[in-house]
Every structure is written in structure tokens, then in C-alpha cells.
Amino acid sequence: MLSQIQEVLIKNQAGIRSQPGTALKNARTGETIYTPPFGMGVIEDKLKNLEEYINIDDDMVDPLIKMAIAHYQFESIHPYYDGNGRTGRILNVLYLIQQGLLDLPILYLSSYLIKHKADYYSGLSALRDNKKWEEWILYMLDAVEDTSKDTIKTIRGIRHLLDETAEKVKTELPKIYSKELVEVLFYQPYCKIAHLVENKIVTRFAASKYLKLLEEIGVLRGEKMGREKLFINIRLYEFLIK
């Protein structure tokens, strides 16, 4: 599954590294800071060990701590030529879903890891070189806590915008208002005719009319994209890019 994720991310089928020569270097100095294992057989064995660790039932270790350990293990194996970081961050979220700590993959841990990139890489190095497990685990727990708080804040903000938009449409366009219509506008930052049709809100002809009316009252902003016209949810878009 990890290889399938990496293949989608990188858009090639290079797969597991089969050639030596991969080294992780300091971006500023060019100094080699870590040389991951090489040889397809060696890497496959280490991935098998990782897979077994992830899936073994272990009531003695909290899932968040196991996530931190598994992430370190995957990044140290560094099994692919490219895309290891992104694949490893996806693994974190999938593991939390597997453990029942998330219902949906909405915890964007990448934002924290990228924001604190220097601490991330120094933590990995300190663990590899000096077995600094406690510092690494605390870093990853901080990442989960900080990202969870941001995610809850974002969800509440979107919910508030949805409620305000529903009230506005109900007041100014009562003839077209429906709860389902407003919810479709919040599936993503933009909407198009096909979205209304696919969700069985209205027919294609009526969908065009509805979107134009929503544009007229300032809920949406139409933008031409090639041959298609997209309708941007103005307040949702502005909220997400803040």
C-alpha cells in the first residue's frame, strides 16, 4: 500500500530503491548526514518489519507513541528514490484512522512538520545518532496536539460560515434555498454546475440559474477556467487561505 501511495505521489513506477548511492545531505552545507540502508532485499525486510510492528496488537504502547516510532522507522528506511517524506506523513494519518483515533484523514500533520522542519530533522538525527527517543516522541506528540487544535478551529470556522451562508440564502433567495444546496457549496472552495446535478439538487438547466443567483447576492464569484466556469465560495476561500 505504501508503494502504491508513493507511486501516485511521484507519478512513476520506480518502486523500492535497488541501487546504492542514496544519501541525505544538509541542504546548506552539502554534508552527508545520513546514509539509509540499500539493496532491495534489505529494504524489503525492513519494510516487512515495519509492517508487522504497525499491525501487531500492543496494548502496552499508546497508538500515538507507536505512530512516532513507525514514522521514524519509515523515514530511516527511506525506501524510495523520491517521495519518502510525503508518503511517511500520509502513513501517520492512515495509522491514526486504523487505530480509531480519526474517522477521516483530516489531520494535516505536514503543516506542523514543515513549519518546524529544523526541529524535525535535528530530532531524527539525534535519535539515529544518540538514541534520543524521548525528545523525538515528545516532538511528534506536540505535532499531533498543535495540529488537532488548528483542525478543530478550522472545522468550527467552516461550520460557522456554512450556518451564516444558509441564513443569507434563506433570507435573500428563499425560493431556491435548501440545506442540501448550501452544503454542496462547502464541499470544496468552488462549485460548478455538475456538482449540483451530481448531488441531485436540481437539473442542469436550473443549476446554472441557481449559481448565477448566488453570484448576484455575493455568495459566489464566477471565474472562467478554460471552457468551464467555476463559482468560488468567496468567504470559504478567503477563510482557507488566511
This prediction's pTM: 0.82
Q: How far apart are CA 232 and CA 220, in angstroms?
A: 5
Is-contact 217 182, C-beta < 8 A? no
Q: How far apart are CA 9 and CA 175, in angstroms?
A: 44
Q: How far apart are CA 213 and CA 176, in angstroms?
A: 9
Cell numbers placing 89: 506523513
* Vertex 94: Cα angle to 91 and 95 (nearest 5): 85
Of 201, 119, 106, nearest to 147 (Cα)?
Answer: 106
Q: How far apart are CA 232 and CA 223, in angstroms?
A: 7
| Every domain range in the chain assigned CATH 1.10.10.10 | 173-241
Q: Looking at the chain, which runs of residues are DSSP E strands?
A: 24-25, 32-34, 190-191, 220-225, 228-233
| Every domain range in the chain assigned CATH 1.10.3290.10 | 2-149
Q: Does the structural domain 2-149 have CATH classification 3.40.1350.10?
A: no
| Assigned CATH class of 173-241 | mainly alpha
- pLDDT tens, the chain, 242 aa long: 999 999 999 898 888 998 877 888 777 777 888 888 998 899 999 999 999 999 998 788 999 999 999 999 999 999 999 999 999 999 999 999 999 999 988 898 988 998 999 899 899 999 999 999 999 999 999 999 999 999 999 999 999 999 999 999 999 999 999 999 999 999 999 999 999 999 999 999 999 999 999 999 999 999 998 888 999 999 999 999 98
Q: How far apart are CA 187 and CA 135, in angstroms?
A: 39
Is-contact 99 63, C-beta < 8 A? yes
Is-contact 233 190, C-beta < 8 A? yes
Cell numbers placing 237: 476561500
228, HSE (Cβ side, Cα atoms, 13 Å): 9
